Structure 1
Amino acid sequence: MSISAITHTALSGMLAQTKRAGAIANNVANASTPGYGRLNTSFQSVEPTGVQASVSETDQDVDFATELTDLVETERSYKANAAVFETGADLWDVLMSIKRD
């Protein structure tokens, strides 16, 4: 796997988690709105590398414990993807410095 593929995978993961965080925020903001259906985020693998998030409305009520748990998971997943992205960027910097020498 190339460095660019690794950074692309990490970037798609960060974008997917950002979309999930938005759905969670929407759920919390509209929890007391009559007739509001909880938004659920699902993830699909995208070829050749990466992930894509899709948000769909359900008929479930908003449960704050579920939203908080999902938010913690989202934060950790985002941080893990960010660390991979930063490592890939650092590898590019090393390769560029080797090429210049």
Structure 2
Amino acid sequence: MSISSIMAISQSGMQAQTRRVEAAASNIANALTPDYTRLNASLSSTANGGVEARLARDADTSGGGSQPDLLSDMTTLMTAESTFKANAAVFETGADMWELLSTIVKDD
């Protein structure tokens, strides 16, 4: 696995976590909005080893929107934050490795 593919995978992870935060923030902001249907983010792997998040609304069978679930949304925010930070650390490590590699190549 190359440094650039590692960085691309970590970047896709950060983008997926951003989408999860978007969904949770929308749910929290609209918790008291009548007929609001919650957004959910589903994560799936991609062919290159990364991850993507797809947003979808809850199935609304009652016609009155879905119930707020602030505990779930707050938990999503906290896990998305820590996962984003982990992916950012991997990305930064890859950038440091690129920098070191370019220094070695220049010295030759």
Instruction: Pick the TM interval, shorter chain.
Output: over 0.9
User: Which segments of structure 1 move beyond 6 Å, counting only runs of 4 or more?
Assistant: none
- Structure number with greater Rg is 2
Q: How many residues end up aligned between the 2 structures?
A: 101
Structure 1 residues without counterparts, runs of 5 or longer: none
TM-score, with length taken from structure 1 = 0.96
TM-score (norm 2): 0.90
Shift of 1:38: 1.1
Which residue identity does 2:54 align to in structure 1? Answer: S
The Cα offsets for residues 53-85 of structure 1, whole Å up to 9 and x where unpaired, read as: 000000442211111111100000000000000
Aligned to 1:48: 48
Q: Tell me which amino acid in the other structure corresponds to 1:85.
A: F
Give RMSD over aligned pairs.
Answer: 0.8
Instruction: Give the gaps of 5 or more residues in structure 2.
Output: 61-65
Please report how far the alpha carbon of residue 49 of structure 1 lies from its aligned counterpart in structure 2 after TM superposition. 2.2
**Structure 1 residue aligned with 2:16:** 16
SS at match of 2:21: helix
Match of 1:92 in 2: 98
Conserved in 2, the CA contact under 8 Å of 1:13 and 1:51? yes
